[in-house]
Amino acid sequence: MKELCGFQLDDLKAWMEANGEKPFRATQVFEWVYSSGLRKPGPLGPGNSHPNLRGVRNSSQIIPRSLGRGSSGAKDFEAMTNLGKELRAKLAASFSFPAIKLLRTVNSEDGETTKFLWELPDQKRVESVLIRSGTRRTVCISCQVGCPARCAFCASGREGLMRNLSVGEIVEQVLHIDRVLKETGERVCHLVYMGMGEPMENYDAVIQSIRLFNDPAAFHISQRRITVSTVGVVEGIQKLAKEDLQVNLVLSLHAPNQHIRKKIIPYARKYPLEEILLAMDDYAQETKRDITYEYTMLAGINDKRIHAEELATLLRGKQCTVNLIPYNPVDGLQLQRPSSETIMTFRMCLEDAGINVTWRYTKGKDIAAACGQLAMQKAEGLVLVP
């Protein structure tokens, strides 16, 4: 069985044709699946009208019952009532939808962060995080079960990589969260590939998912609101620069030199810092996007003044931002978060050198839901509070 949410519109059109159906049936299916509030609200015009409304004049004023609250966003093929019974049966026999199941959600105490725990068809589990900040609704997406990078401070890679997520499994994380938001009139507007996994190691599925997130017929989220974070896989960065995409790229730098980086990031042995930084520069040039360097601050390892000075020298002249993240404690790891004063001194040192710095206030600490801190949790070991 194929996953419905793994299909681009053109591929679904081709499937329809190959199965003796008209290609516009694919557009109808897309509307049932995706037109659940992600598109900007506006009058229903010829280009984006619901199939039920074709040919109806002044359609923006007529909202049939079938389009009312909760009706767009079909839960299964049976709900796609403007498709014939036969086609619905054919679709149900060929495609799985939905492919992932929500097991539970947990809210942080401040209510700004919600963690979603999903079960995949093979019973494996992944998490996504919804971050509310002002009117912005960001989803932090997982792209793998586990992670091959095994960074010393990260919970996601502790058991290594279990498997890649499919396009549909990536896309449905956002689809279902958006449907939850829609109930209160909100929508997902920003995406970050900062959950479990290394996007460059599941490259094709990540690119396909970005295309669906960006597609006006599906999610219609601007590429500039989509961010891919990488541990520094040089050929992945180079390949992404050659795509016709303009997504934001973040490098998990975490060290001012190759020596320290190798101690905390096993991937650094394969990809020397110098080569990664050159690839990042090329990315910035090709796509005209600024780049961000993430720097998780670990007490006694990369948080001293000399490290800040070295970092400033390393990044001198680059059009970039450094995002300082205080280490978020992970159970069983001996690492420490630096004091606020140490972080402040580090920050000021970078700023004095003319570097643009942001300081990520780590959201969702009480539910261990900070991006990049999604642990592989066994059912009985869940630290989630119902």
- As measured in angstroms, the least distance from the Cβ of 328 to ligand SAH is 4
Q: Which residues are catalytic?
A: 127, 371
Q: Does 234 bind ligand SAH (CB under 6 A)?
A: no
Q: Does 149 bind ligand SAH (CB under 6 A)?
A: yes
- As measured in angstroms, the least distance from the Cβ of 41 to ligand SAH is 32
CB under 6 A: which stretch of 8-16, 39-47, 103-111, 226-234 binds ligand SAH?
226-234
Of the candidates 162, 278, 330, 382, which one interacts with ligand SAH according to CB under 6 A?
330
Q: Which CB sits closer to ligand SAH, 74 or 170?
A: 170
Distance of CA 108 to the CA centre of its chain: 19
Q: Does 218 bind ligand SAH (CB under 6 A)?
A: no
Q: Does 328 bind ligand SAH (CB under 6 A)?
A: yes
- As measured in angstroms, the least distance from the Cβ of 156 to ligand SAH is 7
Residue 280 CA: distances (Å) to CA of 44, 57, 232, 348: 41, 51, 9, 24
Q: Does 342 bind ligand SAH (CB under 6 A)?
A: no
Binders of ligand SAH among 353-382, rule CB under 6 A? 371-373
b (16+ CB within 10 A) / e for 242-251: eeebebbbbb
Cα(258)–Cα(95) distance, rounded to whole angstroms?
47
Q: Does 327 bind ligand SAH (CB under 6 A)?
A: yes
Cα(293)–Cα(323) distance, rounded to whole angstroms?
6
Q: How many residues bind ligand SAH (CB under 6 A)?
A: 20
Q: Which CB sits closer to ligand SAH, 28 or 373?
A: 373
Pattern 236-255, binding to ligand SAH, x per CB under 6 A? ----------------x---
Binders of ligand SAH among 287-316, rule CB under 6 A? 294, 296
Q: Does 126 bind ligand SAH (CB under 6 A)?
A: no
Q: Does 198 bind ligand SAH (CB under 6 A)?
A: yes
Binding site for ligand SAH (CB under 6 A): 147, 149, 151, 153-154, 194, 198, 229-231, 252, 294, 296, 325, 327-328, 330, 371-373
